[in-house]
Every structure is written in structure tokens, then in C-alpha cells.
Amino acid sequence: MEFLQDSIPMVSLAAAAAVLYARMSSSLLRPGLPRLVALLPLFPFLVVAPLSFSSSAIIRAIAAFFLAWLCAFKVALLAAGRGPLDPSLPVLTFLFTALLPVKLRRARGGSGAAVSTKASKPVLSLASCAVKVAVIAAILRVYQFSSRLHLYARLALYGIHIYCFLDLFFPCIAAAAGALGMETEPQFDRPYLASSLRDFWGRRWNLMVSAILRPSVYDPVRARAGNPAGVLASFLVSGLMHEGMVYYLSLRRPSGGMTAFFMLHGVCCVAEAWCARRWAASGWPSPPRAVATLLVVLFVAATSFWLFFPPLCQDGVEEKLLEEWAAVAAFFLDAGRRITLYGQRSI
């Protein structure tokens, strides 16, 4: 656990210092080339910093998602005077927004960088939380027999595990922000109920990424080349960034599977929009929502098995991740036993 004692505090402090520098320099320089030149030194740091977590592929990937992807894009948007960051934000709010996958709600009736500081409603449903914890615990238990499971069964477990982990992890961050008086928008909106691929990617799955790609990629490309080009460019950038996440996990050259997965979904979203317009113009009734949702789930699952998960199951990455999750499970089981013993002794 040496990386927990050394790397996390070191990288956290360095990242906070870098973000505070971005806030200070942006408050002194106007958006455009002057601000970009001042912020350029931050990008190599944001890319390299996650590699400090050499002992844990999981923490390295999470740090890469926070810093090398989201924070780097937010800083690039800040250089252009766009995006969620603004030098007028309070220091703590600026740090939270820059370093964590949160999107602050705008204050009602306000504009610019104003954010709501009203205490938000509880973002963690205890029942939902308990279900996700139970599901993750059960999956970690099943992982012990992964060598006996069919490949598709393992991939299905990975998909459920990723969703439950993210939908538990992100609300915990939002809860911390809420405790500090910052109201955040949700990161997921029941993606398993999506009625179309556009609904899944644009309004339900990992909304922080959508909120970053929209102003940084989609809007500029759409303004010059039209909506389909903007959609395809957004999915291309998302695929390339996922290739980067695979590199941070495995420390090996990506295979291109992630890019193929997202480009396929981008093409299908464009085709889906075209078909929806034709369908509506013809006056035909829309398919039942249950049927549309089932088709979306099946398509996402099938293409994930084909293109998304294989890069995570190559070159020993799968075994490494299973070892780390087993260590996480052992840590929490040991902590639970210690708490139980302490409670029994207290009685």
C-alpha cells in the first residue's frame, strides 16, 4: 500500500498547485493565445502524473481519467474562455471542478460562472447504494472462479461491475461537493432505460464526458461541417481517449479496438438520427419504448463484447485487474472483521 501513502498525496498536491496556477494565470490574461501559452506547461504534467501510480493499474486509470482526460480538456477550454472553469469561481469550487468529474449546476436566474451554493438534496439513495455494493461484492466473489466462466459471462460481469462502480463512485464525489455547499449534476441517468443510442450516449451515460466533448469537439466541428461531422468527431476523440485509458491500465500500446467501438457507435448514431427523421416524416408510429430499450441494450452489449472489452483482456491486463480487485475485497473484509471484533469487545 505504499502508493497510498506516497503517490496519492504527492500527485494530489501537485495537481492542486497546477490548477491554482491555471486559475491565477487565467485571471490575469485574456482568453486566446496569451492564456493558452501560459497554460501549455500544465498539459505534460497532466498526462504524466497518473504514471506515478506504478503499483496500481486501477488507481492509475482513475487518475488518468481525472487528470489526463477531463482536467486537460477543461484547461484547454479555459484557455479559450469556455467550459466549466472560470477564474471568477471560488478557489475550492475551482479545484473541485477542475480535478474531479463533477459539473456544477448554474444558479437559477444567474449567468456566467455563477453556481448554486444551496445545499443539494441527498444524492446517494441508501437503497441504491446498498444494492450496488451488494452487486459488486457478489461479482468480486464470482471473480475467484473466473477461469471456469465462459468469456461472455466474464465480459457481462465486467460490464455490470464497471457501471455499478462508476455509479457508486461518482455520487460519492458529488456528495462530498454537496457537503461543501456545491450542487452538482448527476453523472448517470439510468442508462439501462435508454430508448436510442443518442439517448444512451448523450443523455444517460457518463454525462461529464458529454459535457466536456460538446463544447470542445462537437460544437466547433458542427459549426464548420455540420451535425453528422460533429457527432463523428466527438466519438473519434472519445475513442482515442479510451485508447489512452487502456495504455494507462496496461502500460502497453493500444490495439485500436476502443477507437473502432466508438466510431461504430458514432456512425450508428448518425444513421439512427437519419432514420428517425425519415420515420417521423413518413408518419409511421414509433416502436414501443420497451422494444427500443431492449434493442439498445443488446446492441451496446454485443459491440462491447466484440470491441470494447477485448483490449482489457489481453497481455495479462485481466489477471492484473482481478488481482487488484481481490486485494480490495480482502481489505474491506479485513476492515469489516476488525470493526466487528472491536464492537464485540466494546460490548
User: What is the rounded distance in angstroms from the CA atom of residue 52 to the CA atom of residue 215?
Assistant: 30
| pLDDT tier at 325, thresholds 50, 70, 90 | confident
- Residue 26 to residue 30: CA distance in whole angstroms: 7
SS (H, E, C) 5-42: HCHHHHHHHHHHHHHHHHHHHHHHCCCCHHHHHHHCCH
Domain that holds residue 57: 1-117
Last residue within a domain, chosen from 85, 117, 149:
117
Q: What one-character DSSP code corresponds to residue 40?
A: T
CA 147, 150, 156 angle in degrees (round to 5)? 105
With cut-offs at 50, 70 and 90, classify the pLDDT of residue 324.
Answer: confident
Question: Is residue 178 domain-resident?
Answer: no
Q: For the CA atoms of 88, 91, 94, 96, what is the dihedral angle to 10 degrees?
A: -160
pLDDT of residue 122: 46
- Residue 54 within any structural domain of the chain: yes
Do residue 199 and residue 102 come from a single domain?
A: no
pTM, to two decimals: 0.84
Report the share of the chain in percent with pLDDT over 90.
Answer: 47
- In total, how many domains does the chain have? 2
pLDDT exceeds cutoff 80 at 322: no
**16 in any annotated domain:** yes
Residue 100 lies in a domain: yes
Q: pLDDT band at 333, cuts 50/70/90?
A: low
Take residue 31 and report the three cell numbers written for it.
482568453
Residue 128, in any domain of the structure: no
Q: Are residues 101 and 213 in the same domain?
A: no
Average pLDDT of the chain to the nearest whole number = 84
Q: Which of 290, 296, 289 lies closest to 272 in space, CA to CA?
A: 296
67, 96, 117 — which closes off a domain?
117
Of 117, 149, 176, the last residue of a domain is 117
Identify whether residues 106 and 205 lie together within a single domain: no
Average pLDDT for 157-168: 85
Question: Does residue 229 lie in a domain region?
Answer: yes
Tens of pLDDT along 40-76? 999 999 999 999 988 888 889 999 999 999 999 999 9
Instruction: Please give the pLDDT value at position 112.
Output: 46
- Cβ neighbours of residue 272 closer than 8 Å, sequence gap 6 or more: 196, 197, 198
Does the pLDDT of residue 124 top 60, yes or no? no
Nearest to 102, CA basis, from 191, 187, 17: 187
Same domain, 297 and 209: yes
307 in any annotated domain? yes
In a domain, 147, yes or no: no
Residues 199, 99, single domain; the answer is no
Q: Is residue 116 scored above 50 in pLDDT?
A: no
Strand partners, 115: 106
